[in-house]
Amino acid sequence: MADEYKAAKPIYAQIADKIIHSIVRGELSPGEKLPSVREMAVRSGVNPNTIQRTYSELERMEVVETKRGQGTFVTEKEELFLEMKNKVQREIMNNFVDSMRELGISREKMLADLTSYLKGEGGKE
């Protein structure tokens, strides 16, 4: 089944983000082979050219390595995994804080609610 994509960001970038998140979550391991361009295109419900662009962008970012005749593989550079995890974490925090600010939530309230939530109280008021 094809994924749903947001119009605000190019599809190839959204697919790249999904692959990076899979790596950060440990669903894709260092050195693991990614699906072929055609297979990923079918899975994602997009044109193979979009997946080729995704893989090219990930290669430019050094997240994957393409081995001619063998396929595309997740990099084995450990320092890159930590960097990716930190980047994803910052993006999630930025999105959270921006969303709370749009709702008019103060920094102090955000911290109090988050602390309460993490203590298992579910962010109750």
- pLDDT of 28 above 90: yes
Rounded CA-CA distance 53/48 in Å is: 9
Q: Give the confidence band of 61 by pLDDT, cuts at 50, 70, 90.
A: very high
- pLDDT tens for 4-24 read 788 889 999 999 999 999 999
Answer whether residue 53 shows pLDDT above 80: yes
Q: Per-domain residue ranges for the chain?
A: 11-76, 79-121
**Higher-scoring residue by pLDDT: 47, 79:** 47
Task: Give the integer Cα–Cα distance in Å for 98 and 92.
Answer: 10
- Residue range 11-76 forms a domain whose CATH class is mainly alpha
* Alpha carbons 52 and 71: distance in angstroms, whole number: 12
Helical residues (DSSP H) of the chain, grouped into ranges: 11-24, 37-44, 48-60, 78-102, 107-116
- pLDDT, position 1: 42
pTM: 0.75
The 10s digit of each residue's pLDDT in 64-94 is 999 999 999 999 988 888 888 999 999 999 9
Q: What's the pLDDT score for residue 122?
A: 60
Q: List residues bridging with 73 in a β-sheet.
A: 33, 65
- What pLDDT, on a 0 to 100 scale, did the predictor assign at position 123? 45
- The answer to whether residue 2 scores a pLDDT higher than 80 is no
Split at pLDDT 50, 70, 90, the class of 38 is: very high
Q: How far is CA 91 from the centre of its chain?
A: 10
